[in-house]
Amino acid sequence: MALILKEVTKRFGNYTAVDGLNLSIPDREMFGFLGANGAGKTTTFRMILGLLDPTAGKITLDGKAIDYSQSSMIGYLPEERGLYPKLKVVDQIVYLARLRGMKKQAAIKELGYWLERFRIPEYFDNKIEELSKGNQQKIQFIAAVIHRPKLLILDEPFSGLDPVNVELLKDAVIELKNSGTTIVFSSHRMEHVEEMCEYLCIMQKGKPVVHGSLKEIKRSFGKKNLVIHAD
């Protein structure tokens, strides 16, 4: 799903969190959003998802303004994880999958696939609060992808994970991209974006400092400058 942002601005009172952002995210590509704390990444994601209205500018997905009819095609891993600690993993996932129009049996099958893939098949019936933080993050990721969305937005998907789990999650993201999902993810770390994305945007104080294909950016700026901008 091609995602286009035209002159998108978000102000909170006098504070401009996102300032005239222009982006074109090609269908079936992986797009990286890089920037330090407060750069405006989460605010941009919330506007793409329709959770916040832009103060100015326009966002379209496949040529149409985003509305609720598209929500079953979009997956979102929020920065603040939002699972119910007292629910069992299976009940949490089935509940969220049903909200997106999936049948219970299809959701259970898909959950089984992901738990195996993340090497935690034994946690199917555990309560969320019984899982480690890293495993909770994997469940949150599964919640975002259970319905096989066409557009997947991941806010800091690798933060707080150990290197083994970062690799597991990266492989899963790459698999989804290869199966045709358009993916946008944010990170503080250049190496994640550089390794996985062909296109990227580096944000600083609400403004894109650089955006375009990684190859072009590297040619124009050189790797050293990119790393300085990243955090």
Could you list the residues that contact ligand ATP (CB under 6 A)? 12, 15, 17, 35, 37-43, 79
Which residue, 44 or 70, is less far from ligand ATP as judged by CB? Answer: 44
Which residue, 149 or 208, is less far from ligand ATP as judged by CB? Answer: 208
**Strands of 64-65's sheet, edge to edge?**
15-25, 3-12, 56-61, 64-65
Min dist CB 24 to ligand ATP, Å, is 20
Which residue, 32 or 40, is less far from ligand ATP as judged by CB? Answer: 40
Residue 117 dihedral angles phi and psi, to the nearest 5°: -60, -35
Position 226: which residue type?
L
Min dist CB 79 to ligand ATP, Å, is 5
Min dist CB 12 to ligand ATP, Å, is 3
Min dist CB 33 to ligand ATP, Å, is 8
Q: How far apart (Å, rounded) are the C-alpha atoms in residues 92 and 128?
A: 8
Which residue, 40 or 102, is less far from ligand ATP as judged by CB? Answer: 40
Q: At what angle do helices 163-178 and 133-145 cross, to 10 degrees?
A: 10
Q: Which two tokens stand for residue 117?
A: 């893939």
